[in-house]
Amino acid sequence: MSVLPDLPGAAPLNHPFPRLGIRPGVPLLLLLLLVAGAAPALAVESARILIVHAYTQEYPWTKSQHEGFVSTLNKSLPLPPTIKTEYLDSERLGLEGAYLAWFADYLGQKYQGFHPQLIYVTDDDGLKLGLEVQARGFPEIPLFFSGVNDFHAQERLDPNRQTGVFEKKEIGPNLDLLQALPGARGASVVIVGDGSTTYRAIAHEIEAELAKRPAIQATFIAGASLEALQARLAETPGALLLTTLGGLKGADGQMLNLEQSVPALAAGRDIVLSMEDAYQFSGVLGGYVISGLAQGQTAARLALAHLAGRPLRDLPPVLESPNEYLFDDARLGALGIRLPEEIAAQARLLNRRLSFGERHLQAILVVTLLLLLILAILLFLLVQSRRKNRLLVHQTHHLRHQELLIRESEERYRRLFELSEDPMLVIHDRHFVMANAATARFLGYADATDLLRTHPSRLSPARQPDGQSSHAKAETLFDAAEAQGWLRFEWVHQCKDGSPRLVQVTLTRIPRPAGGEEFLCVWHDVSAWRSAEAPLNPPA
């Protein structure tokens, strides 16, 4: 159910029409006839939107908000919008002082000629940056937000310039769910979090809700160290409730992404409930979650209403967080859990279990093909030799056609590899065995063959910026990529002239038909970006 109220009297969601002076509420067909008759050459303009996310593009919560916002706009606008997207990476870099001012000025200068019609930001840091951007460079551009959990931010909002969707983790439904799940009623629950300010606020709300549910015995475990949390969890039985985990660090003190921390915490637990859809990884059952997808969709509906002519002050912020029940259906099946009917009716399921026909589709197809083959053989034995010859000719032609298609497909992918403007390589036995021309140009070599049969460390300085030897670090990264199937990291390569090039490397495992594994390696130059960051992160 949408938390955005109906918008009576709003124009259709095709924002250029209000600019043409056409009154809201006129049927779309009549509008098109009037435009076609009065100005046949008039073109519909694409909406220009600037998006700024607080976290990185790989953060699941950010990706789901972005998907919800953009997909809703694409479905409703007459033309796909022109979107420019920036990422603050504030979880790693913070958003205080010089960085906030620098990024606001950077956006103002970079997009001054873009002339955005609206700005969309996500999460609390995104709103903080968005307000600064408005103040410094775009005072007249409306600002829309989602994923903001600081409700006090309402006091800083100007109803004529900012609106959006607030986020609230709801405790009660998850505690009620814990009591309703088979085998969990009356059991203990372990509430785990990263010890942040957000966690402490959530823990306070949980304590208030637990007072209403004396049957539940709760243990709170919090801290920023993943290893310390795992050690305490190993000694504490019970169902697990994940609160907020964005601030967890590894043994090396580096921030962990959710793909690393969530499965590690969920390991060995049957029932793991989550309060965020971004935590839906292996081992997590689900729960009543804040939905990044719904947050983005709701913010997009506000933006569409404004583009259709609705004044911003008539679109107050949405305070009722668009949360939802979300479950891993395969996990439900593995645990033999059947959801209560009232929850199952409204739940969204991931990893949906297959029906009998879907699970055994391959066997059904094989049996069907075998029966058809037997029938074909029986018919074949009854036909004349001329029929047999025709069939053989047809089969030969078909095989040749398939071989031609395969060769054409191989050639197409080979050309895509060779002609790509991004450096692309193939790694086998931890050595480069293929490289495209873009790679040679990137490193200053005349021919890509000069790069082959070399270990990545041979095209790198002796040591990486963290002090590790390039060879040892490369071997460690290869081990990680082989274990999880892909890996993205930053690496310093060395050009032919000795100059360093900082790249973001993406390794993707490619199974080999003859056995063994290869990796597709793609480089993206991030030297300029890191150089821009350097003044903001002076050495200690």
Q: Within this chain, do residues 269 and 135 fall inside the same structural domain, yes or no?
A: no
Tokens of 90: 């504030």
Q: Within this chain, do residues 180 and 108 fall inside the same structural domain, yes or no?
A: no
Q: Within this chain, do residues 386 and 458 fall inside the same structural domain, yes or no?
A: no
Q: Within this chain, do residues 219 and 338 fall inside the same structural domain, yes or no?
A: yes
Residues sharing a CB contact under 8 Å with residue 147, sequence separation 6 or more, in sequence order: 54, 61, 65, 122, 123, 124, 126, 165, 167, 292, 295
Query: What is the domain-level CATH number for residue 503?
Result: 3.30.450.20
Tell me the backbone φ, ψ of residue 172, rounded to 5 degrees.
-55, -50
Look-up of token digits 């040892």: 472
Is residue 250 in a domain?
yes
Helical axes 60-76 vs 292-307, angle rounded to 10°: 30
For 127-148, the DSSP string reads HHHHHHHHHHT-TTS-EEEEEE
Q: How far apart are CA 490 and CA 488, in angstroms?
A: 7
Look-up of token digits 């939107």: 49
> Are 147 and 300 a contacting pair, CB within 8 Å?
no
Q: Within this chain, do residues 78 and 102 fall inside the same structural domain, yes or no?
A: yes
Is residue 443 in a domain?
yes
Is residue 6 in a domain?
no
Q: Within this chain, do residues 53 and 141 fall inside the same structural domain, yes or no?
A: yes
Q: Within this chain, do residues 145 and 37 fall inside the same structural domain, yes or no?
A: yes
55: burial class by Cβ within 10 Å (0-12, 13-18, 19+)?
A: buried
Q: Within this chain, do residues 65 and 207 fall inside the same structural domain, yes or no?
A: no
Q: Within this chain, do residues 36 and 141 fall inside the same structural domain, yes or no?
A: yes
Look-up of token digits 């209560």: 340
Provide the 8-state DSSP code for 454.
Answer: B
For 176-188, the DSSP string reads HHHHHSTTTTT-E
Q: Within this chain, do residues 303 and 164 fall inside the same structural domain, yes or no?
A: yes
Helical axes 226-234 vs 258-266, angle rounded to 10°: 10
Query: What is the domain-level CATH number for residue 226?
Result: 3.40.50.2300
258, containing H or E segment = helix 258-266
Is residue 1 in a domain?
no
Range of the domain at 366: 361-413
Q: What is the pLDDT along the chain (540 residues), one digit of tens a residue?
A: 344 444 433 333 333 333 333 334 434 433 433 433 443 333 457 899 999 999 988 888 999 999 999 999 999 999 999 999 999 988 778 887 788 889 999 998 999 899 999 999 999 999 999 999 998 888 899 999 999 988 999 999 999 999 999 999 888 999 988 888 876 555 689 999 999 877 888 899 899 999 998 888 999 999 999 999 999 999 999 899 999 898 899 999 998 988 999 999 999 898 999 998 989 999 999 999 999 999 999 999 999 999 999 999 999 999 999 999 999 999 999 988 899 899 999 999 999 888 788 778 888 888 989 899 999 999 889 888 777 778 787 787 888 888 888 787 778 878 888 888 899 999 999 999 999 999 999 999 999 899 999 999 999 999 999 999 999 999 999 999 999 999 999 999 999 999 999 999 999 998 876 666 799 999 999 988 888 776 766 665
3-state secondary structure of 348: strand
Is residue 311 in a domain?
yes
Cα–Cα nearest to 52, from 133, 140, 115:
133
Is residue 8 in a domain?
no
Is residue 355 in a domain?
no
Q: Within this chain, do residues 441 and 517 fall inside the same structural domain, yes or no?
A: yes
What is the model's pTM?
0.56
Total tally of structural domains belonging to the chain: 4
Q: Within this chain, do residues 22 and 164 fall inside the same structural domain, yes or no?
A: yes
Is residue 34 in a domain?
yes
300: burial class by Cβ within 10 Å (0-12, 13-18, 19+)?
A: buried
